[in-house]
Amino acid sequence: MCRYSKSGYTLIEIIIAVAIFSMMVFLGTTALTQGLRQYKNILSRGLNFWQNAKYVWLTKSAGSMLDYYVKSPYGWAPFFRGKEDYFEYVSTSPIANSLPVVALVKVHKNKKGKYDIIYYEKPVYTMYYEDLINFYELGDYKKSTSIRLFKNLSSVKLRYYGYNIQTREYNWYKNYSALKQKILPTLIKVSYKKHKKKHTIILGVNNNSLIKGVYGMIYLFGGVGEKR
């Protein structure tokens, strides 16, 4: 007479197996969540570092603005032009080059209807006075080295604190031309809004820098000239 043995799992074994499986799923989910959180924190720190680095670059570039004299229809004067949507100057602290550059900080409206702030620079030794003065007007900046400093801003406002030779006083202006005023501005204020939060960056111009004075003498008496 043949006997058939029945094989199977008891209720206790099933409960233990389910408990072990649930614990494995829980541990796996917890590890994944922690990993994603750590990755997000690392990414956030990386983005913050990059943003802070760009802020430091811009601050250093503007702070090293050079009293770079050019000949314009207004006579000899240091090169600086500030408008409501851009400002340009010559700096001894370039971002992507090793020599003094003409720098342009421009506000662009992007396809989303937001605003981006982009920095452009080009070695100034390659330029004549006319090229330098018309760097923005002729669109030559579009061929130069560029870095996007800020993107998708709700609004941007540029203001310049400088001396007015007509009124003989310092004040904030929407437009400021050192070619007309014969002196560089003292401060540049960049106000912008992002994610409904207002931010302000104040860029100081160190007009009395010794190194800038040396560069000024070199370029005033032995630098670029007029087109022949």
What is the mean pLDDT, run by run of 10 residues, along the chain of 228 residues?
55 70 66 55 52 80 90 88 96 84 95 95 87 88 91 96 90 94 93 93 74 48 46
Other CB atoms within a 10 A radius of the CB of residue 156 amount to: 20
Please report whether residue 27 resides in a domain: no
CB 83 within 8 A of CB 157: no
**In degrees, to the nearest 5, what angle opens at C-alpha 89 toward C-alphas 186 and 213?**
70
Output b/e per residue, 66-76; b: 16+ Cβ within 10 A: bbbbbebeeee
Q: Which residue has the tokens 């050019």?
A: 70
Structural domain boundaries enclosing 171: 50-222
What's the structural domain count of the chain? 1
Please report whether residue 30 resides in a domain: no
Please report whether residue 151 resides in a domain: yes
Please report whether residue 23 resides in a domain: no
Please report whether residue 127 resides in a domain: yes
Please report whether residue 71 resides in a domain: yes
Please report whether residue 113 resides in a domain: yes
Please report whether residue 193 resides in a domain: yes
In sequence order, which ranges of the chain are alpha helices (DSSP H)? 11-63, 129-133, 178-181, 210-222
pLDDT in the model for residue 13? 66
Q: What's the CA gap between 224 and 203, in Å, rounded?
A: 27
CB 147 within 8 A of CB 183: no
